[in-house]
């Protein structure tokens, strides 16, 4: 499968020789990586030690960042050189800080695609079209998540179904649009400082077994997360759920022992496509709201090539190791996805700009939020 929607800017090939030259002539040999936790710092230090021990040319340093935004600031001012980031943060790093990408993760041999965001509905719900979602009910994994908010709301804005107006109040516009929904976390003070986000955005939420924690931004809310959103549709509280293409399969065949999941039948569900049609559950490659790119390594523009060369040397030695240090495993550190996603198969060079990595559809969806003052 090749990645759709990603094209190098025309004329780029003419620049290639120039970039290669600047890479060779860049004398700096240290790459400092911005890490966000004790576990990630430990993996980084182990990598640095093993790289030195195996005579990998160059030196890795580990710099502790306070947050992803702090890492962007550090890379921008040279206190750090690189950090791996997920799609929405790549957009912020590029748009707000002029940063670029050096390498991206490839999972299972699928170039640059992490997952698809799909819209799931019960087959028995008729007269349902993604182009006419007004007054429908919806189930979202969580507020401000890529799957449950950025992509679906970006799509509804992009298709002119939702308009946020000059106030740029997304929760209010979404609440006015849907009949009722479950958007876990939408009433949390952090996301609702004035306390006036619409109540109907929590009306398809169910809380825990004792009716507490309704609309909580964690698993106490049983409709939280991708599995929770699927449950919300399976239980007929929502017409549609915004989930990953893998979500339904992750909950089938006894992988989820909760009764709603055991009752799940693939033939009872369908996908809704952005052009208003519907499709089967296995047709996500052509019927999705967005192909969300995998994580990629954010760097300063002048370091694109230099950092790639270093990563290439690291993955040649540690990318496939069955013993000793393993670049794409976080086993033994007590957390997952350290430095890179554990699902990474290999790293690929990113030649084009960060927007080419994100792809035009996904970039358009993120642009829908520009009035919020992204930077
Ligand atoms: C190499 O990595 C392992 C973990 O895989 C770690 O225990 C060891 O200390 C590292 N070696 C060096 C020289 O840093
Ligand atoms: C670089 O940015 C980081 C994060 O904002 C800050 O802590 C650090 O002091 C800055 N360093 C320099 C040399 O400007
Ligand atoms: C690991 O080995 C496989 C098969 O030999 C190869 O296709 C793959 O590119 C290697 N991965 C890395 C990161 O070198
Ligand atoms: C109404 C609107 O803005 N539509 C845009 C949605 O995004 C695509 C690109 O993916 C544009 O081509 C449309 O014009």
On whether residue 208 sits in a domain, the answer given is: yes
5-21 mean pLDDT? 46
Atom of ligand 4 nearest to the CA of 361: 10
| Residue 168, pLDDT score | 94
| Residue 137, pLDDT score | 98
- Convert the pLDDT of each residue in 224-267 to its tens digit: 999 999 999 999 999 999 999 999 999 998 899 999 999 999 99
Q: What CATH number is attached to the domain comprising 279?
A: 3.40.190.10
Residue 1 has pLDDT above 60, yes or no: no
Q: Which domain holds residue 45?
A: 12-111+294-358
- Same-domain pairing of 326 and 257: no
Give the ligand whose atoms come closest to the C-alpha of residue 72: 2
CB atoms within 10 A of CB 271: 24
Whether pTM exceeds 0.75: yes
| Residue 109, pLDDT score | 63
Instruction: Find the range with the poorest average confidence among 9-23, 41-55, 75-89.
Output: 9-23
Q: Is 203 in the pocket of ligand 1 (CB under 6 A)?
A: no
On whether residue 249 sits in a domain, the answer given is: yes
- Same-domain pairing of 283 and 164: yes
Q: Which residues line ligand 4 (CB under 6 A)?
A: 158-160, 360-361, 364
Q: Is 72 in the pocket of ligand 2 (CB under 6 A)?
A: no
On whether residue 3 sits in a domain, the answer given is: no
Residue 334 has pLDDT above 90, yes or no: yes
Atom of ligand 3 nearest to the CA of 315: 13
- Same-domain pairing of 256 and 341: no
- Convert the pLDDT of each residue in 51-64 to its tens digit: 999 999 999 999 99
272 confidence band (pLDDT: 50, 70, 90): very high
25 confidence band (pLDDT: 50, 70, 90): low
- Convert the pLDDT of each residue in 115-149 to its tens digit: 999 999 999 998 999 999 999 999 999 999 999 99
22 confidence band (pLDDT: 50, 70, 90): low
| Residue 27, pLDDT score | 72
Beta bridge partners, 100, equal 299
Give the ligand whose atoms come closest to the C-alpha of residue 65: 2
Share of the chain above pLDDT 90, in %: 86
- Domain finish residue from 244, 271, 291: 291
Q: Is 49 in the pocket of ligand 1 (CB under 6 A)?
A: yes
Phi, psi of 69 (to 5 degrees): -60, -40
Please give the distance of CA 55 from its chain centroid, rounded to a whole number.
Answer: 35
Give the ligand whose atoms come closest to the C-alpha of residue 325: 1
Beta bridge partners, 346, equal 106
- Same-domain pairing of 152 and 208: yes
- Convert the pLDDT of each residue in 96-117 to its tens digit: 999 999 999 999 766 789 999 9
- Same-domain pairing of 101 and 121: no
| CA proximity to 202, closest of 189, 231, 188, 194 | 188
Give the ligand whose atoms come closest to the C-alpha of residue 54: 1
- Same-domain pairing of 143 and 61: no
Question: Looking up tokens 């996603």, which residue turns up?
Answer: 341
- Same-domain pairing of 254 and 353: no
Q: Which residues line ligand 3 (CB under 6 A)?
A: 315-316, 319-320, 346
C-beta separation of 216 from 224 below 8 A: yes
Distances (CA, A) of 100 to 87, 88, 355, 373: 12, 13, 9, 20
| Residue 6, pLDDT score | 45
Share of the chain above pLDDT 70, in %: 93
SS3 label, residue 123: coil
Query: What's the chain's average pLDDT?
Result: 92
Q: Is 74 in the pocket of ligand 2 (CB under 6 A)?
A: yes
- Domain finish residue from 248, 275, 291: 291
Secondary structure string (H, E, C) spanning 197-241: CCHHHHCCCCCCCCCCCCCCCCCCCCCCHHHHHHHHHHCCCCCEE
Q: How far is the CA of 101 from the centre of ligand 2 (A)?
A: 21
Test site for ligand 4: of 291, 364, 369, 371, most ligand atoms within 8 A of the Cβ = 364
Q: Is 66 in the pocket of ligand 2 (CB under 6 A)?
A: no
375 confidence band (pLDDT: 50, 70, 90): confident
- Domain finish residue from 276, 291, 306: 291
- Same-domain pairing of 272 and 311: no
| Residue 34, pLDDT score | 98
On whether residue 204 sits in a domain, the answer given is: yes
* Number of domains the chain is built from: 2
On whether residue 125 sits in a domain, the answer given is: yes
């Amino acid at each position: 499968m090749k990645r759709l929607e990603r094209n190098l800017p025309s004329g780029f090939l003419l620049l290639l020789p120039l970039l290669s030259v600047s890479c060779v002539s860049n004398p700096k040999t240290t790459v400092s990586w911005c890490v966000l936790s004790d576990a990630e710092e430990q993996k980084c230090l182990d990598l640095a030690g093993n790289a030195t021990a195996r005579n990998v040319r160059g030196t890795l340093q580990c710099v502790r960042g306070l947050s992803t935004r702090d890492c962007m600031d550090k890379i921008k001012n040279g206190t750090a050189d690189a950090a791996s980031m997920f799609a929405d943060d790549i957009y912020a790093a590029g748009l707000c800080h002029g940063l670029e990408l050096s390498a991206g993760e490839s999972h299972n041999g699928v170039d640059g695609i992490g997952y698809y965001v799909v819209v799931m509905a019960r087959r028995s719900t008729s007269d349902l079209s993604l182009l006419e979602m007004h007054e429908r009910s919806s189930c979202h994994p969580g507020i401000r998540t890529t799957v449950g908010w950025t992509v679906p709301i970006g799509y509804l804005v992009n298709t002119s179904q939702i308009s946020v107006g000059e106030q740029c109040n997304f929760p209010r516009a979404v609440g006015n649009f849907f009949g009722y929904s479950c958007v876990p976390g939408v009433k949390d003070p952090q996301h609702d400082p004035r306390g006036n986000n619409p109540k109907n955005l929590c009306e398809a939420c169910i809380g825990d077994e004792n009716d507490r924690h309704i609309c909580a931004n964690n698993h106490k809310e049983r409709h939280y997360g991708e599995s929770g959103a699927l449950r919300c549709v399976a239980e007929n509280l929502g017409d549609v759920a915004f989930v990953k293409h893998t979500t339904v399969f992750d909950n089938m065949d006894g992988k989820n022992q909760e009764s709603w999941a055991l009752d799940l039948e693939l033939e009872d569900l369908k996908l809704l496509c952005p052009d208003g049609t519907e499709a089967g559950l296995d047709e996500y490659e052509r019927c999705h709201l967005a192909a969300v790119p995998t994580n990629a390594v954010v760097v300063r523009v002048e370091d694109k090539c230099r950092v790639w060369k270093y990563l290439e040397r690291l993955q040649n030695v540690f990318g496939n190791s069955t013993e000793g240090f393993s670049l794409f495993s976080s086993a033994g550190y007590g957390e997952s996805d350290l430095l890179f996603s554990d699902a990474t198969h290999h790293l690929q060079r990113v030649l084009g700009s960060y927007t080419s990595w994100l792809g035009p559809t996904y970039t358009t969806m993120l642009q829908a939020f520009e009035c919020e003052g992204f930077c």
